[in-house]
Structure 1
């Protein structure tokens, strides 16, 4: 029989993380910014064909984004390149997907906006299957109907992850764009994503000059269980990265839990204490999550924590 620590250490993290917590969205109508975005340090760069592009500029933005995607070669350690297409229940979204398929110019990931059912994801996944390297397809949830429909959306075949769109959600729900008003939909999104074993990424914080507000909002995202957060300006990236990285004290505490659990497993037990606090399987799982957030695997092995049968 294996200890809880053994099972947790040998299993992949759930929900799976994207490449990193920092996402940067850039208007698809501004190709001069594309190079700056990919050099910003963001782990995912998202070129936007939807909200930031006026109707009369959709075709030009599509051409610019696909040209950049075609010339893009990801360097080792470089960001993933994503594209937020238009909603697939409209003409422009269908044109976006058709152009990618016809030209074979797929980014690393495609974000589908205003998703309210799994059918919208399935449609994009079906077209993307013809790509030499099919992109990861993400759903952007930004309406009350999308939140209510999460159980069906997160289990759509081929879905890689979900993002939250707070501004559109607030407008559709008739609520304020405040932290407290967003607690419920954010928690629903994280819960549904965790149940499906996929990551959830939080909405941008739109006040560009409020770094303290951004820090609080990013820390809330960490507490809720989000795997990352979208930035709307490069100067937001460092705050987001700091929020999602465990502090030295948090990391040390997590390692102490793992060390204690390893010793307990060697002695044939699954429960131990650390600094007077009882530590069982749930706290071991939490400690493992902290270590993974720091980018390190725990210093335990499947042989060192095998519980005697």
Structure 2
């Protein structure tokens, strides 16, 4: 009988799939919850080997996480499977990478914690060079030094995205874990990611019983430009999904902009109006983003509309 490692190694690589706005993090020390996480509806399930696993349990958690993730990533359907490894400047992080490389059990994506320079990302990318299907590598930014170093970090080749770790950031900065205190580092993260053409995903909201607070925090993330948000419990997922989905009014307004842009493009490509507002390339692109969030792909392009002279 094949072991889980043998079955995972013998399976064909999975086709690449895009991530979405709902991420769910699950402690790597609780394998009984893995299937529940996969069936939760989250678009990315992140199995954690770092903060949620005590030192004495690292080896056991590593074995079950890699066996599970290595098998599940070869499934065509279901969420993306990710693993948050330990920091690569320490022994446990190096053991995580060595185990993935030796067993060939690379998940869909690897989240690298406590990133403060591009070197940490380069180490993980290099370790995954021989994988059948190389994982996407994401940087978790959770310190003032990491925020200051964002310009260097986001330029690292093969970096797929960045996540924000608010709790560690607040502890390191000596500030409170509030929306106002986190506004600056979150904005910095989104700006750097946008400049590099990669997505940014927001930190979890840690008060499990405060759904209104979660909703406000998720709407802040949408307003800032985050592509998604991490949940720490499945019951947070629906609130996050609703926040990142455009409202019917937003969708109607976006479609009106795109209809106006299409009409004016056919008539010669000059700037126009929709619902009393000016319509030009930036607004058309914003409308396209709203419609994409709703799962539609409009045909109009921003190059079809030119600014007024």
**Could you say which residue in structure 2 is the equivalent of 1:97?**
97
SS in 2 for 1:208: coil
Deviation at 1:289, TM superposition (A): 0.6
Residues 279 and 229 of structure 1: CA distance in aligned 2, closer, same or farther (over 3 Å): same
SS in 2 for 1:246: coil
Aligned CA-pair RMSD: 1.7
Residues 179 and 57 of structure 1: CA distance in aligned 2, closer, same or farther (over 3 Å): same
SS in 2 for 1:219: helix
**Aligned partners of 2:288 and 2:157: how far apart in 1?**
28
Deviation at 1:69, TM superposition (A): 1.8
**Could you say which residue in structure 1 is the equivalent of 2:78?**
78
Q: Which has the higher contact order (CA 8 A, sep 6+)?
A: 1
Deviation at 1:301, TM superposition (A): 7.3
Number of aligned residue pairs: give it: 290
**Aligned partners of 2:83 and 2:279: how far apart in 1?**
43
**Aligned partners of 2:302 and 2:151: how far apart in 1?**
34
Deviation at 1:129, TM superposition (A): 1.2
Describe how 1:166-181 pairs up with structure 2 within 5 A: 166-181=166-181
CA contact (8 A) 2:46 2:81 kept: yes
- TM-score w.r.t. structure 2 length? 0.91
Deviation at 1:277, TM superposition (A): 1.0
Deviation at 1:70, TM superposition (A): 2.8
Deviation at 1:233, TM superposition (A): 0.1
SS in 1 for 2:282: helix
Deviation at 1:160, TM superposition (A): 0.3
**Aligned partners of 1:172 and 1:113: how far apart in 2?**
14
Could you list the runs of 5+ residues in structure 1 that have no partner in the other structure?
1-16
Deviation at 1:18, TM superposition (A): 4.9
Describe how 1:206-221 pairs up with structure 2 within 5 A: 206-221=206-221
Describe how 1:85-234 pairs up with structure 2 within 5 A: 85-234=85-234
Deviation at 1:271, TM superposition (A): 0.8
Q: Which moved more, 1:263-272 or 1:25-34?
A: 263-272
Residues 251 and 77 of structure 1: CA distance in aligned 2, closer, same or farther (over 3 Å): farther
Residues 213 and 18 of structure 1: CA distance in aligned 2, closer, same or farther (over 3 Å): farther
- Cα deviation, 1:204-231, whole Å, max 9, x if unaligned, reads 0000000000000000000000000000
**Aligned partners of 2:103 and 2:62: how far apart in 1?**
12
**Aligned partners of 1:44 and 1:124: how far apart in 2?**
20
SS in 1 for 2:152: helix
Could you list the runs of 5+ residues in structure 2 that have no partner in the other structure?
1-16
**Aligned partners of 2:298 and 2:251: how far apart in 1?**
11
**Could you say which residue in structure 1 is the equivalent of 2:292?**
292
